[in-house]
Structure 1
Amino acid sequence: MLAIKAEQGMDVSPQVRDHLTGLQLAALQVAHPHEYRVRLVRDELHVAVVGQREAEIANLTVQSGPRAAARHQGRTTLPSPRRPDQLAGNRPEQP
């Protein structure tokens, strides 16, 4: 549903997005418990990596100035976790 709304150029409220994500995760937990656990770990890893990168950038900004931080931001990052608007039965993309 989120993908359809995005294709139509329509945004949904954060509350609707959270609700649909919760429904999708509940369906994934029932239909594919292993993939559900993988999804949770990927989401947690993504949050941790983003937090680490933000801390590194903040530290670089303090130590070396904004230009060094801007160069650091250009580093490659881990792929984002699967989007909530993807269907529960879809397999995660392989790197």
Structure 2
Amino acid sequence: ATTLNVLVLTPRSAELHEKLPPKKAADTSKMILSPMPGLVVTLDVIPGQLVRAGEAVCVVEAMKMQNIIRAERDGTVKTVGAKAGDSVAADEVLVEFA
């Protein structure tokens, strides 16, 4: 099976659509995002803390399962976006590196 995304436009809209600059993806390389909606059980880092790749930074509970969220790279914590007890949405910033 093949899936196609089709955009149907008037000739004028198509002409203008071609002139739009391509959308740039947000740079999330310095962020740890929540992979799912859930509840923050623990947040184990503070601003200024050095974190190594693979180190646990928090635990998010979703559907009665606790998920350990780990750093994907080394970095120094710049900000913490949530605290224990907070509800978070999918892709919400949990930790940002400097």
Higher helix fraction: Structure 1 or Structure 2? 1
RCO comparison, higher one (Cα < 8 Å, 6+):
1
The structure having more radius of gyration, on CA atoms, is: 2
TM-score interval, smaller chain? under 0.3
